[in-house]
Amino acid sequence: MKKRIYDIKIKMVKESSALYNTNEIANPDCAADIIRQYLDNTDREHFIVLCLNTKNRVIAINTVSIGSLNASITHPREVFKGAFLNGVYFIHHF
């Protein structure tokens, strides 16, 4: 009996862009400034991932989940999916 194998494609779609003032993310305050600008006037909880290159420069921002007033439920695979699609470099510390 033959089994069917599906050929799938996953695409990354660039929805918009934004400008930011810093050259690299040197500390959490730099990241917070970018996210604060991105989330201006939102009324719900957002789970955001900043994708950085090896020089700590932002290459993408990904909204993983939009929740309710005080919670945003997400799964780890959703966090890493956007990062993998943007070619980020992962450093493992064990």
Those residues whose C-beta lies under 8 Å from the C-beta of residue 47, and which sit 6 or more positions away, are 63, 64, 65, 66, 67, 72, 74, 79
At residue 51, φ and ψ (nearest 5 deg) are: -95, 125
Domains of the chain: 28-85 (3.40.140.10)
Name the DSSP letter for residue 68.
S
pLDDT, mean of residues 12-29: 80
Say what the pLDDT of residue 84 is.
Answer: 83
- Measured between alpha carbons, how far is 15 from 82 in angstroms, rounded to an integer? 13
* pLDDT tens digits, one per residue of 39-61: 888 888 889 888 888 888 888 88
Question: What pTM does this model have?
Answer: 0.70
* pLDDT tens digits, one per residue of 69-86: 777 888 888 888 888 887
* pLDDT tens digits, one per residue of 10-19: 777 877 777 7
